[in-house]
């Protein structure tokens, strides 16, 4: 039925008005149903988007957090300990921290740095750490070998002094009939370390002989001399086999990420279907590294930032606070990633790398940090 411009509701009959009201109510109901469907679809979309988060949560077990804590410790001992305490994986008690320092996967230099600090808590940790050493029935040179293998001795004389003092106390406690005082053990321990350096450091031209070593240790046994056969056995042991000083791997990825410019979770768009994946990003030097999990030893991808810049970009569906990396002069960004199935390294072919942050503030901070690194 065609209606003219002068149509009015007053022109409708009672039945027609009733029918119109039914149509309007049905329309409102349909609109409400559409809105409910939209909310359900949105909820499903958010649930799908969060699947990676859920996967990460499942992966982020106690063991994974412990590995992360060790990584943080290797980068910065204080931050590592604080992280483990905050996650409830370590009690801030000197006995518990000392036990943790015997864990596998810890950087021996970082352990030495932590033990060498003179704050009261660190001194208590050092004492507890030494008390965990089983030195009973061992010759002093063997005990020293074991002790010096459990961490990397710091270079500062004051730190070495504190460590040798605690070592001497522990050794004499477990072997009370060897030396008359702990001072004797303390001085001899220092003497053995000096002998090791003199005999095996290439820069020392005049190597001490046994007579010099014996002479150097006269009168240290509470005014008396130590048995010559003890000193000879120590000299022969060190001459035949120098102390094994634990060397930390200089190629460890942790060294690359020591004090990064910025790190944190971001969503990265990628793949054949341009899906969003949650990745842990580390900005270090002039490279952006991303990992599937914070506990991964190797990055999934590396984006060199040379000749790149960063800018805020339009929001994507279900993704806010978006920004992207783009080439200043090149159409294709030179980058690489590891294929998850084959493990092969593949060259990236992106014209832009699009990311999404959790908040606007985080997005702004990433953009600022990247611009500071790239100088753009």
Most distant CA pair in the chain, distance: 128
**Residue 345 pairs with which residues in a beta bridge?**
338
CB 316 within 8 A of CB 307: no
CB 276 within 8 A of CB 269: yes
- Is 156 among the catalytic positions? yes
HEC string of the chain? CCCCCCCCHHHCCHHHHHHHHHHHHHHHHHHHHHHHHHHHHHHHHHHHHCHHHHHHHHHCCHHHHHHHHHHHHHHCHHHHHHHHHHCCCCCCCHHHHHHHCCCCCCCHHHHHHHHHCCCHHHHHHHHHHHHCCCCCCCCHHHHHHHHHHCCCCCCCHHHHHHHHHHHHHHHHHHCCCCCCCHHHHHHHHHHHHHHHHHHHCCCCCCCCCHHHHHHHCCCCECCECCCHHHHHHHHHHHHHCCCCCCCCCCCCHHHHCCCCCEEEEEEEEECCCCEEEEEEEEEECCEEEEECCCCCCCCCEEEECCCEEEEECCCECCECCEEEEEECCCCCCCCEEECCCCCCEEECCCCEEEEECCCHHHHHHHHHHHHHHHCC
What would the two tokens of residue 361 be? 């503030």
Residue 366 has phi, psi (to 5 degrees) of -65, -45
What would the two tokens of residue 164 be? 């040798």
Q: Which of 47, 156, 241, 315 is catalytic?
A: 156
Catalytic residue ranges: 156
């Amino acid at each position: 039925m065609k209606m003219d411009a002068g149509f009015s509701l007053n022109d409708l009959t009672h039945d027609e008005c009733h029918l119109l009201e039914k149509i309007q109510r049905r329309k409102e109901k349909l609109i409400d149903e559409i809105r409910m469907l939209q909310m359900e679809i949105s909820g499903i979309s958010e649930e799908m988007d969060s699947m990676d988060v859920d996967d990460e949560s499942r992966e982020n077990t106690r063991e994974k957090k412990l590995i992360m804590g060790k990584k943080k410790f290797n980068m910065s001992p204080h931050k590592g300990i604080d992280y483990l305490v905050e996650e409830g994986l370590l009690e801030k008690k000197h006995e518990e921290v000392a036990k943790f320092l015997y864990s596998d996967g810890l950087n021996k230099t970082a352990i030495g740095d932590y033990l060498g600090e003179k704050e009261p808590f660190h001194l208590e940790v050092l004492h507890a750490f030494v008390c965990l050493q089983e030195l009973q029935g061992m010759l002093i040179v063997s005990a020293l070998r074991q002790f010096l293998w459990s961490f990397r001795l710091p270079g500062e004389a004051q730190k070495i002094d504190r460590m040798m003092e605690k070592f001497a106390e522990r050794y004499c406690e477990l072997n009370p009939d060897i030396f008359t005082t702990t001072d004797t053990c303390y001085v001899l321990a220092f003497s053995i370390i000096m002998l090791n350096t003199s005999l095996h450091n290439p820069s020392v031209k005049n190597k001490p002989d046994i007579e010099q070593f014996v002479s150097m240790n006269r009168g240290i046994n509470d005014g008396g001399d130590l048995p010559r056969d003890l000193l000879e056995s120590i000299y022969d042991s060190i001459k035949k086999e120098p102390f094994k000083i634990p060397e930390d791997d200089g190629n460890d990825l942790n060294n690359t990420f020591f004090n990064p410019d910025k790190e944190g979770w971001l969503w990265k768009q990628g793949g054949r279907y341009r899906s969003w994946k949650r990745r842990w990003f580390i900005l270090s030097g002039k490279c952006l590294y991303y990992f599937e999990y914070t506990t991964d030893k190797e990055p999934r991808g590396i984006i060199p930032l040379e000749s790149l810049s960063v800018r805020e970009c339009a929001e994507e569906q279900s993704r806010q606070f978006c920004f992207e990396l783009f080439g200043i002069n090149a159409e294709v960004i030179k980058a690489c990633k590891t294929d998850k199935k084959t493990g092969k390294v593949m060259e990236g072919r992106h014209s832009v790398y699009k990311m999404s942050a959790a908040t606007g503030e985080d997005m702004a901070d990433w953009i600022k940090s990247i611009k500071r690194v790239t100088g753009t």
